Copies of this chain bind each other. A is one copy, B any other.
């Protein structure tokens, strides 16, 4: 593919941007966790544990912490007995909604196409 130099730069910039996204979102669980919180608006630890098929509490705890650090998720401790913790998306986290929806749609199509046949 022949490209003008500034075209090539554009491609590189875009590749970098994708990498930046993936640095935050990649891993086996992150997207699923975000989806869970996103679809239910607010979600407790044990609920997410149930939503995300196969995840262990250790992993969930670790991943949520990372998402919090990256300011995608907000953690609220409720004053109940025993303690309850609620997770919700931050405003920045909410900007992922489009991507979640796209991945949901694509997953359904993919299942039809490849798995379902």
Query: Any chain B CB within 8 A of the CB of A4?
Result: no
Copy total for this chain: 2
Known: A1-B41, A27-B26. A96 touches B106 (CB 8 A): yes
Asked if residues B98 and A21 are in contact (CB atoms below 8 Å), the reply is: no
Asked if residues B106 and A21 are in contact (CB atoms below 8 Å), the reply is: yes
Query: Any chain B CB within 8 A of the CB of A49?
Result: no
Interface residues of A (CB under 8 A from B): 1, 11-12, 14-22, 24, 26-28, 31-32, 35-36, 39-43, 51-53, 70-71, 92, 95-96, 98-100, 102-111, 113-115
10 tightest Cβ-Cβ pairs between the two chains A and B: A17-B107, A21-B107, A20-B107, A21-B103, A17-B104, A18-B35, A17-B108, A99-B102, A14-B104, A11-B39
